[in-house]
């Protein structure tokens, strides 16, 4: 089972570590605490990225729909 630390997830997601920690704190990204570090399983990261991608796609579609309604 592949696992990642916050710094590794930061490199994958191209964001900063505080953002990842906020996702963990808010329960959007599941992680286990190992001492002072968070450990994120591959499956949890995949689920998180899938949900994030869907949310971004839905927001994009909503903007397009609103844009077309104003025409």
pTM strictly above 0.85: no
Average pLDDT over residues 38-66: 90
Strands (E), the chain: 3-5, 32-34, 37-41
39: pLDDT confidence band, cut at 50, 70 and 90? very high
Share of the chain above pLDDT 90, in %: 68
Angle at 19 between CA 63 and CA 16, to 5 degrees: 105
Residue labelled with tokens 């869907």: 54
Question: 69 pLDDT exceeds 90?
Answer: no
What is the arithmetic mean of pLDDT over 4-23?
A: 95
Residues 2, 41: contact at Cβ < 8 Å? yes
pLDDT reported for residue 25: 96
d(CA 37, CA 35): 6
Distance from chain centroid for Cα 12: 10
């Amino acid at each position: 089972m592949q696992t990642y630390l916050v710094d590794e997830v930061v490199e994958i997601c191209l964001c900063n570590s505080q953002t990842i920690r906020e996702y963990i704190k808010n329960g959007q990204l599941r992680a286990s605490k190992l001492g002072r570090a968070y450990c994120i399983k591959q499956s949890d990261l995949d689920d998180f990225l899938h949900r994030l991608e869907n949310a971004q796609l839905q927001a994009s579609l909503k903007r397009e729909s609103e844009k077309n309604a104003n025409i």
